[in-house]
Amino acid sequence: MTVIKAVFFDIGGTILDESREFAAWADWLGVPRHTLSAVFGAVLARGLDYRETFRTFRPGFDIDTERRLRAAAGKPETFGEQDLYPDARTCLAALKEQGLLVGLAGNQPAHAEQLLRALDLPADVIGTSEGWGVTKPAPAFFDRVLDAAGVEPASILYVGDRPDNDAAPAIAAGMRACLIRRSPWGHILDMPDVAARCLFRIDSLDELPVLIAKHNTTTAQDGENSPSRM
């Protein structure tokens, strides 16, 4: 076992509650918010890309074009402090206090980097798929995480809500993974084989600092007591 030296977090659905933004999309499309939520759940349950939700109401929907139209109309896609999950900031701060490198890296438009930096979160690295030019679950995305962490893969923990986009590709890259059960993906997607390979499975980020501290302490003690050190 290897001690955890760096922890990277997915953004949407992990540290960022996207409920308010999806409500804004429903308003933009002119459909009831509960209707969009229902279709969204059905799309995810069928294993489709979440953008198919929007195409149900507007065939040919292109999210980049619609983002520009929203911005031009004075209704830009945005988020702020009120959209962070209540346990996000305290978790990041607790991990920093343990001396760990903390990063945020997820599938987000480039402008999300500026919004995240404006929140002054206790994070050493902030990266987005658009800024990096590669989207999860592509291996190249996790190569960027490895480069940003600067430590061996096995000492990096990647935390996310999706077994398919977060945990599985992180494990394939040699990292450890933690699944958090929240967001629509976290509740709908069930991949027991992936979950079983995760280092941790949690319901709240409040659990994570204690779990990592315990893991690192136990791992360090096991190393000190190994036969090679006797």
In whole angstroms, give the CA distance from residue 222 to residue 209: 20
Residues 47 and 121 grouped into a single domain:
no
In whole angstroms, give the CA distance from residue 187 to residue 94: 26
Beta bridge partners of residue 175, listed in sequence order: none
Residues 32 and 10 grouped into a single domain:
no
Structure tokens given for 39: 């279709």
Structure tokens given for 149: 């962490």
Q: For residues 25 and 54, is the Cβ–Cβ distance under 8 A?
A: yes
- pLDDT band, residue 225 (cuts 50/70/90): low
Q: For residues 95 and 209, is the Cβ–Cβ distance under 8 A?
A: yes
Residue 40 lies in a domain: yes
Q: What is the pLDDT at residue 226?
A: 54
In whole angstroms, give the CA distance from residue 188 to residue 45: 6
Residue 154 lies in a domain: yes
Residues 129 and 171 grouped into a single domain:
yes
Q: What is the pTM of this model?
A: 0.91
Residues 99 and 205 grouped into a single domain:
yes
Q: Which domain holds residue 90?
A: 6-16+82-229
Q: What percent of the chain has pLDDT over 90?
A: 81
Check pLDDT > 50 for residue 66.
yes
Cβ neighbours of residue 102 closer than 8 Å, sequence gap 6 or more: 6, 7, 8, 9, 92, 95, 96, 122, 123, 124, 125
pLDDT digit string (tens) for 128-140?
A: 999 999 999 999 9
Residues 68 and 96 grouped into a single domain:
no
In whole angstroms, give the CA distance from residue 39 to residue 74: 26
Residue 12, CA atoms < 13 Å, CB-side half-sphere: 20
Residue pointed to by tokens 């195409």: 55
Residues 50 and 159 grouped into a single domain:
no
Show which of 49, 72, 95 is a domain's final residue: 72
Residue 45 lies in a domain: yes
Pairing status of strand 125-128 against strand 6-9: unpaired
Q: For residues 85 and 16, is the Cβ–Cβ distance under 8 A?
A: yes
Beta bridge partners of residue 102, listed in sequence order: 7
pLDDT digit string (tens) for 151-187?
A: 999 999 999 999 999 999 999 999 999 999 998 888 8
Residue 99 lies in a domain: yes
pLDDT digit string (tens) for 201-213?
A: 999 999 999 999 9
Residues 116 and 132 grouped into a single domain:
yes
What are the φ and ψ backbone dihedral angles of 127, each rounded to 5 degrees?
Answer: -140, 150
In whole angstroms, give the CA distance from residue 214 to residue 221: 11
- Domain total of the chain: 2
Q: What is the pLDDT at residue 224?
A: 53
Beta bridge partners of residue 101, listed in sequence order: 6
